[in-house]
Amino acid sequence: MSGINYTEKIPNNVNLSEDRTLQRALEHWQPNYLKWWDDMGPEGSQNYDVYLRTAVSVDPEGWAHFDYVKMPHYRWGIFLTPPEADRRIHFGENKGKPVWNDVPGEHRANLRRIIVTQGDTEPASVEQQRHLGLTAPSLYDLRNLFQVNVEEGRHLWAMVYLLHRYFGRDGREEAEALLERRSGDVDNPRILTAFNEKTPDWLSFFMFTYFTDRDGKFQLASLAESGFDPLARTTRFMLTEEAHHMFVGESGVARVVQRTCDVMKQLKTDDPDKVRAAGVIDLDTIQRYLNFHYSATLDLFGSDLSSNAALFYTAGLKGRFEESKRSDDHVLKDDSYTVLDVENGRLVEREVPMLNALNEVLRDDFIRDSEAGVNRWNRIIEKAGLPHRLRVPHKAFNRKIGTFSGIHVSPDGDVLTEAEWNANRHKWLPSDADREFVRSLMPTRVTEPGKFANWIAPPVVPIDRKPMNFEFVRFN
């Protein structure tokens, strides 16, 4: 990379070409990143020409530039939203003080931990999805998958920039470790459990991008409130791209639901076996996939009560979702919050200090946001004249972290014995047979422009105003 034109190869607004120390760090890191992409990025795709959106600046004209590009040549840029004049920390014990443009020594370890945890999720999702391109239901969907993948890669660059720029040797070591961990690896897995799960089929992918990328939205929005201004400005720009990932998920599930409803109306049946025999995914199976991905995502918010969440908030490192729109004192020392607990085999409510319940506050925000999209899927079913409705399960269902990790709870919120859980689990979560059936609908990818697999409806919204028969991916 000697003599590289940084503005051309790595679009940025952080004066990269003028920072020799940072240049040297990235010159060392980038070849390892490209090797990771070659090893763990979308399988067999290195020579494809893909119609991708590339951010070249933070202004409306520059953050969404479309053109064909080979993914290993994608211009993974580094962008921070423009600084806000006289910005102040607006929550915690430092409320009212100027934001930090350098890492405060007393918060160095916690800030590094926050950035590394967020950064680790980005390459993890690429690794989870690396085989999906081989079974894409259309060129439109293949392109969307690749768009999500390169933007997750750019989000990794965003976090690595912060590590290299502000954390010295420790940051460089953490940046290297982000390329060494592997999703699902027994010896060196990704940090968060949900990012070690497999994404074996496209229904899983759509559920992942709807629910798990929505967790990303809420985590990034919380970090966008940070008193460490470079982190806040970085995550604000990342949110513009995260919105597309959630769109891919919501519209993808909607198209699966639409196709299933169309077939059910044609056949005049709601028998899952007959629906499956027609080559589409029955609504009961869609519900079980929803239950799994929703509950796994709830665990990403952490334990119900967390001293770390209280510490991060009080210090001004991580706020709440839409912190500035809340009407309390933004200090929360005297505030409380209602959480669920288990008492004598029943779920009960209890009041706890708000500061310790901030993970639960964010989780509840996520739940409300998730339900809105599920309601939109239900409008498709309702419009088809069918009685079935999708719904999110109870927040205690199938949880592996926090208060509910040691108990079994039904989707309706009933506490169960282990025997009751085992007898009904197959009704609520996808079985091996369910997953095998879904995979059987996707034996290979659809490569003819404008054609779609039988199990999914065409999209309603085009990409960059292109027609549906546009060649979104060119195979070379």
Over residues 205-215, the pLDDT tens digits come to 999 999 999 99
Q: What is the pLDDT of residue 333?
A: 96
pTM, 2 dp: 0.96
What mean pLDDT is reported for the chain?
94
Q: What is the pLDDT of residue 116?
A: 98
Q: What is the pLDDT of residue 359?
A: 97
Q: What is the pLDDT of residue 8?
A: 63
pLDDT tens across 164-198, in order?
999 999 999 999 999 999 999 999 999 999 999 99
Mean per-residue pLDDT, 229-249: 94
Mean per-residue pLDDT, 334-340: 97
pLDDT tens across 135-175, in order?
999 999 999 999 999 999 999 999 999 999 999 999 999 99
6 pLDDT band (50/70/90 cuts)?
Answer: low
7 pLDDT band (50/70/90 cuts)?
Answer: low
Beta bridge partners of 25: none
Mean per-residue pLDDT, 292-319: 97
CA torsion, ordered 360, 366, 369, 374, to nearest 10 deg: -110
Q: What is the pLDDT of residue 215?
A: 96
CA torsion, ordered 5, 9, 14, 15, to nearest 10 deg: 10
Q: What is the pLDDT of residue 2?
A: 43
How remote is the C-alpha of 138 from its chain's centroid? 22
**141's tokens:** 């969907």
Q: What is the pLDDT of residue 344?
A: 87
List alpha helices for 58-138, DSSP H.
Answer: 108-128
252 pLDDT band (50/70/90 cuts)?
Answer: very high
Q: What is the pLDDT of residue 12?
A: 85
Which of these, 231, 50, 199, 69, lies nearest to 124 by C-alpha position?
199
Q: What is the pLDDT of residue 16?
A: 84
Please enumerate in sequence order all residues whose Cβ is within 8 A of that of 365, keeping only pairs 6 or more positions apart, or say none: 218, 320, 321
354 pLDDT band (50/70/90 cuts)?
Answer: very high
4 pLDDT band (50/70/90 cuts)?
Answer: low
1 pLDDT band (50/70/90 cuts)?
Answer: very low
Q: How many residues would you count in the chain?
A: 476
- What single-letter DSSP state applies at residue 330? S
- Alpha carbon distance 297, 293 (integer Å): 6
**75's tokens:** 């211009």
122 pLDDT band (50/70/90 cuts)?
Answer: very high
The counts of H helices and E strands in the chain are 14, 7
476 pLDDT band (50/70/90 cuts)?
Answer: confident
Asked whether the predicted pLDDT for residue 380 surpasses 50, the reply is yes
Q: What structural domains and CATH numbers belong to the chain?
A: 6-474 (1.10.620.20)
